[in-house]
Amino acid sequence: MSGPASTAGETRPIEIAPEALPAALAAVDDDQLVVVDFDETLFLRNSTELFLDSARPAVLAAVVSYAIGFAKPWRFSRRYSDGFAMGDWLRVLLVACLMPWTVWRWRRLAPALARAHLNPELATLLANRRFSRLAVASHGFAFIIAPLLRAMQLDAELVACPLWTGFRARAAGKRTALEARYGSAAVAGAAVITDNAGNDADILAVAAEPLVVVWPDARYERAFSRTYVPLVYTEKAKHPTHPHLFAVFFAKDWAALVIASALLAPDPLTTALGLAFLIVSFAIVYEVGYHENDVLGRRREKKPILTPERLALAGTVPEGGAWFFAALVALPGAGLLAWSGASTFHPAGGELVEGTVLLLGLWLALLAVIRGTFWLFNRVDERSRMLLFLPLQLMKGLLLVIALGLPLGVAGAALLVAGGFATWIPYIVYRMGGARWETPDDVNRLVMVVVMLVAIGAVIGTAPLWHWHTAVVFAWCAFKARRQTLRVWREAHFLEDREASVMAGEQPATGRGAAAVLGLRLGGQH
């Protein structure tokens, strides 16, 4: 950045209360440059978020916005890796390009929004002083702010980011943009009013009057906060620490279905793709149960989990909308399964439309059973939920394959049953007061698969165990459990005789004394 350097004492911003601002500006000359931040300062909301929230259809815009936030493409750039420069820019650019009518709609909505969210105290102060050089500077976008500023009828120049190269302007900062417009000397002698000392540190560092004012009525409201987008509640509220859809529903559940069933289908790739759509459909309906669990938990549980994310997204998962999207996503899944001929209910060569309708109907019926089970799960006592948790896990594995008539062998059935039980065990540990995340799920699944295959071989013979599919199932389970197996092995050790060291130097007790000592020793080992 260019511009005059300043010492630490000259650059420290002054934090003042809103009522102290008139006195602070009294010392500013009328011909001195005055720079006013826009979002959450002159305008008491965030213009970028309001623009995005005005996009219609809102669901499509929200999906685009959340997809960008999930992918975080700026991670691959050294210069813009923090996301500040590219995050909002990409969201706005894609919405403006994919839904260009949003720009026209925004211009129509801007006057009403300007009146509703104008900072009257600051606007009145600026209008009364009539500074000869008043600039509204923002990291937001010029085409969004301009109609708002016009509606405010404030005699000010706008310095904001262009649409097409907005990421560069945001990265360069306000100081660079203001110096390009007014010169470094004018910027160095300017009075700056902003609410964010962090984002505006560059301009505050050189301004003669750096004023930081936080307005009590200002609020940052994220776009689409009340728009239902499938799986946002799961990812943002229920499991914010990891990508649950990919880490659990795909890497665990869908992968198990592919290994257990799709590999045996006439067209494994098409079957696997169809199952992927069904897993997403399952996750959407399952999310309704997640949301309901949290809503009821706040009213009924003694110690509900009240995270800011869950509270912020409460009420954003409508049952009807979830079922609509679940059926919509399931439709291509059912079509792919019908095309592949994987189901015994619709063999290869059958009518595609009839097969799709049949499999879709069976899938929706299974989803209804899943939803009903989750409904009951959310309304019974916490200990009784342990009994219902297992069928919920089996319904996205073994029962899914059976309900749709998909191929299933001995090893595949063992894998899906073991997967359900391996997920059930940590839940029991959790309900009994233990640390559920410390259980070696993958090791448990591997052990259960081996035990079930040995038991099956002992009953019906070993012929099915020599099938190639059994080797694939075992290899996949062993691969998934490799890290946990090493950890369990490294942590395993023989226990030392603690009694010998604790009781060393004491005389052996006899009679009742010996029994009492023995009782104390045994009690201390539990």
Q: What 3 state SS string does 113-134 have?
A: HHHHHECHHHHHHHHHHCCCCE
Please identify, among 148, 179, 213, the residue that sits at the C-terminal boundary of a domain: 213
Does 354 share its domain with 431? yes
Closest CA to 35 of 170, 167, 212: 212
Does 240 share its domain with 160? no
Please, what is the angle between helix 87-98 and helix 101-117, to 10°?
Answer: 120
- 329 is written with which tokens? 């996503």
Does 177 share its domain with 260? no
- Element (DSSP H or E) covering residue 413: helix 410-431
Q: Tell me if 285 sits within 8 A of 326, measured CB to CB.
A: yes
**How far apart are alpha carbons 516 and 333 in whole angstroms?**
68
**How far apart are alpha carbons 398 and 279 in whole angstroms?**
13
DSSP assigned state of 27? T
Does 308 share its domain with 186? no
- Its sign, for the CA torsion 21, 23, 25, 30, is positive
Does 359 share its domain with 318? yes
Closest CA to 232 of 250, 249, 244: 244
**How far apart are alpha carbons 450 and 422 in whole angstroms?**
13
Closest CA to 21 of 128, 117, 116, 113: 128
Report the SS3 class of residue 225.
coil
Does 27 share its domain with 150? yes
Q: Tell me if 390 sits within 8 A of 424, measured CB to CB.
A: yes
Please identify, among 153, 183, 213, the residue that sits at the C-terminal boundary of a domain: 213
The answer to the question of residue 526 being in a domain is: no
Does 170 share its domain with 243? no
Q: Tell me if 155 sits within 8 A of 174, measured CB to CB.
A: no
DSSP assigned state of 494? P
The answer to the question of residue 515 being in a domain is: no
Beta strand 191-194 with 157-161 is unpaired
The answer to the question of residue 3 being in a domain is: no
Q: Tell me if 445 sits within 8 A of 425, measured CB to CB.
A: no
Please, what is the angle between helix 441-460 and helix 410-431, to 10°?
Answer: 140
- State which amino acid sits at residue 64: V
- 419 is written with which tokens? 């997967």
Please, what is the angle between helix 468-480 and helix 410-431, to 10°?
Answer: 30
The answer to the question of residue 518 being in a domain is: no
The answer to the question of residue 517 being in a domain is: no
Does 393 share its domain with 311? yes
The answer to the question of residue 290 being in a domain is: yes
CA 323 vs CA 293, 318, 391: distances in Å: 17, 9, 21
**How far apart are alpha carbons 259 and 275 in whole angstroms?**
12
CATH, residue 176: 3.40.50
Residue with tokens 């595609």: 352
Question: Which pLDDT does position 2 carry in this prediction?
Answer: 35
Question: Which pLDDT does position 525 carry in this prediction?
Answer: 36
The answer to the question of residue 519 being in a domain is: no
**How far apart are alpha carbons 481 and 53 in whole angstroms?**
44
- 521 is written with which tokens? 């020793």
Does 285 share its domain with 432? yes
Please identify, among 213, 244, 279, the residue that sits at the C-terminal boundary of a domain: 213
Does 279 share its domain with 426? yes
Low-confidence stretches of the chain (pLDDT beneath 50): 1-10, 503, 511-526
Domain limits for position 401:
232-488
**How far apart are alpha carbons 466 and 174 in whole angstroms?**
70
Chain centre to alpha carbon of residue 28: 46
Closest CA to 170 of 158, 184, 160, 181: 160
Helices (H), 81-119: 87-98, 101-117
pLDDT digits (tens, 9 = 90+) for 272-309: 999 999 999 999 999 999 999 998 888 877 777 778 87
CA 113 vs CA 88, 125, 282: distances in Å: 20, 20, 40
- Element (DSSP H or E) covering residue 37: strand 34-37
What is the number of structural domains in the chain?
A: 2
**How far apart are alpha carbons 367 and 264 in whole angstroms?**
24
The answer to the question of residue 386 being in a domain is: yes
Instruction: Name 423's Cβ contacts closer than 8 Å, sequence gap at least 6.
Output: 393, 441
First-last CA distance in the chain: 67
Does 238 share its domain with 360? yes
CA 459 vs CA 395, 452, 456, 464, 468: distances in Å: 26, 11, 5, 11, 20
- 311 is written with which tokens? 């509270």
Q: Which class for 402: exposed (0-12), middle (13-18), buried (19 or more C-beta within 10 A)?
A: middle
Instruction: Name 268's Cβ contacts closer than 8 Å, sequence gap at least 6.
Output: 258, 262
**How far apart are alpha carbons 75 and 97 in whole angstroms?**
23
Does 113 share its domain with 52? yes
Chain centre to alpha carbon of residue 74: 17
- Its sign, for the CA torsion 205, 206, 211, 212, is negative
